[in-house]
Amino acid sequence: MRDMLKAGVHFGHQTRYWNPKMKPFIFGARNKVHIINLEKTVPMFNEALAELNKISARKGKILFVGTKRAASEAVKEAANSCDQFFVNHRWLGGMLTNWKTVRQSIKRLKDLETQSQDGTFEKLTKKEALMRTRELEKLENSLGGIKDMGGLPDALFVIDADHEHIAIKEANNLGIPVFAIVDTNSDPDGVDFVIPGNADGVDFVIPLSRVTMTQSVLLACTWALSLQPFVKAVLRIWLPRRKKAS
């Protein structure tokens, strides 16, 4: 917990922007900024991690959602590193609830990818090739992180519950469990596994475990936002536990 304090996980939003529903997770206030109670954060983080491990172990699909500009590249790299899926640009309305239409857009994306690689673009006029290239880039930005998901995810992990409220609502409508970092200005309703924490300037690591096709060992996979050194704090807490468990 000392490491978390050093990393600034406990700093919430200014008191005037708070959501009263987060009161159970607030320790107090300092300089008109709410302080998150890390004695609540730690067990809730561990509970979320245990459930994510179960989902991953049964080869479930976890969709990471972090569309803030500062988090975009980190979310992409992290999801790719653990063979999961991501949305790191604008969340398109209906991305989950209108999956049939999204699937058609994914098909178009893959068709354009093939055309760009098999020489089709080179046979087009410059104008037409440019139009298709722009369409490809737009679709890749929106759907590239879910193009191989093959269906709805088994869980959502959300960086900022307030910022990604549309994604959370869609998941709720479909009964998809939601894991989220929830700051003091956010509404925790709709989040199945709340992790109280600083969602604006936080490095958060999700050590995901998954079972490979050939062996029944859990592989550690780190996912982090490169905004503050919380990643080191959580790793210092988590890695010794994994060593003891193994």
As averages over each run of 10 residues, the pLDDT of the chain (246 residues) reads 53 66 77 77 82 85 87 76 87 96 97 95 94 96 96 92 94 96 86 84 42 26 39 49 50
pLDDT for residue 178: 97
List the domain boundaries for the chain: 2-93+152-245, 100-143
User: What's the pLDDT at 185?
Assistant: 82
pLDDT value for 165: 95
CATH of domain 2-93+152-245: 3.40.50.10490
- Please tell me the predicted confidence (pLDDT) of residue 49: 80
Q: What pTM did the predictor assign?
A: 0.77
3-state SS of the chain? Answer: CHHHHHHCCCEEEEHHHCCHHHHHHEEEEECCEEEECHHHHHHHHHHHHHHHHHHHHCCCCEEEECCCHHHHHHHHHHHHHCCCEEECCCCCCCCCCCHHHHHHHHHHHHHHHHHHHCCCHHHCCHHHHHHHHHHHHHHHHHHCCCCCCCCCCCEEEECCCCCCHHHHHHHHHHCCCEEEEECCCCCCCCCCEEEECCCCCCCCCCCEEEECCCCCCEEEECCCCCCCCHHHHHHHHHHHHHHHHC
Domain 100-143: state its class: mainly alpha
